[in-house]
Amino acid sequence: MKRKTEDCSFRTTIGGQALIEGILMRGPRVQAIVCRTQDGLAEKTEELELIRDKHPALGLPFVRGVLTLFDSLFKGMAALMYSASLVPLEEQGEKDKLDQWIEAHFEGEKAQKLIIASAVVTGVALSLFLFIFLPAFLVGLIPGLRASFFARNLSEGALRIVILLVYMRLICEVGDVKRLFAYHGAEHKTIFCYEHGKPLTVENVRVESRFHPRCGTSFLLVVIVVSILVNSVVRLSNSFARMGCHLLLLPVVVGVSYEINRWCGRHDNALSAALSAPGKWLQHMTTNEPDDGMIECAIRALELVIPEEKGSDAW
């Protein structure tokens, strides 16, 4: 009987992110970026300064989710921009006007931080528009749904899922995104190999599954489902008022979703499998099979963040 490659007795808190021709791996105390360049693998590591170490209250359940999300956004965007900077100049596209303006008026590290902040703000604004404002506005145009808050809320949630799936499907056709998703697959396979206790070799990693239950993709779907439940308390018919309430309730949605994902990461039962299943299904779009070079990149990134004390990265 073929063993299920997803099953493993050890679950690590180490997670990753696909970059441009590279991988970001984040361990308990160290973050590593490894990218493929014309001269070989480029490596960058840094110690993680966790704000909850200085302010323990920010590490409490339902509070830590929002903090973790924004921390991941900023660190992830910074890593993505670093990986883009390693691409040969002749292959780099022209910088947008905002980035050019920032570089013209600010210097060095300050300019870099402002560019990262502007990219994060733009990404968050686009997400809010697509998944909060647009669904509330479009569903509000349907007269038959105005009288039923339950039907309206459910319709808004269904539209969010449709928007997410259409968006994912469209970007899957972009050549550079296909490679990005292949690195995503390499990240999952490498983490699985580590969790199974096997030596981190290309041969061992290659046979692992690229569908991991603790992926951020699952988090996106959980957020949408939780938003349907949390936003059910909103009893307003005006679309703009609903948008404002949904925005105010977003920290609650993120906090609850984060705790659900943590619970799924710690448990292996029918409920956790059911909660993880939609995210794993979505990974058929957000992950591709990697080549050996991508796997080597992921292996090296993971090796750099594995803690010296065995088991200290366990869920």
pLDDT, tens digit only, all 315 positions of the chain: 334 445 556 889 899 999 999 999 999 989 999 999 988 899 999 998 777 667 777 778 888 888 888 888 888 888 988 998 888 766 666 677 777 888 788 877 788 778 888 888 888 899 899 999 999 999 988 887 777 888 898 999 999 999 999 998 898 888 789 999 999 999 999 999 999 999 999 999 999 999 988 887 778 888 888 998 898 888 888 889 999 999 999 999 999 988 888 888 777 788 888 888 888 888 999 999 999 999 999 999 999 999 988 888 887
Residue 62 belongs to some domain of the structure? yes
Q: Which domain holds residue 200?
A: 15-87+95-305
Residue 3 belongs to some domain of the structure? no
Residue 23 φ/ψ, nearest 5 degrees: -140, 140
Q: How high is the pLDDT of residue 8?
A: 58
**Sign, CA torsion 181/182/183/188:** positive
Give whole-number Cα distances, 61 to 71, 114, 153, 219, 220, in Å: 16, 30, 26, 16, 19
Residue 8 belongs to some domain of the structure? no
How many domains does the chain fold into?
A: 1
Q: How high is the pLDDT of residue 277?
A: 84
Q: How high is the pLDDT of residue 261?
A: 83
Rounded CA separation 311/303 (Å): 14
Q: How high is the pLDDT of residue 202?
A: 97
**Sign, CA torsion 53/57/24/107:** negative
Asked if 182 and 288 touch (Cβ cutoff 8 Å), the reply is yes
- Return the structure tokens found at 16: 């990753």
Residue 35 belongs to some domain of the structure? yes
Residue 22 belongs to some domain of the structure? yes
Residue 310 belongs to some domain of the structure? no
Residue 314 belongs to some domain of the structure? no
Rounded CA separation 92/84 (Å): 8
Residue 199 belongs to some domain of the structure? yes
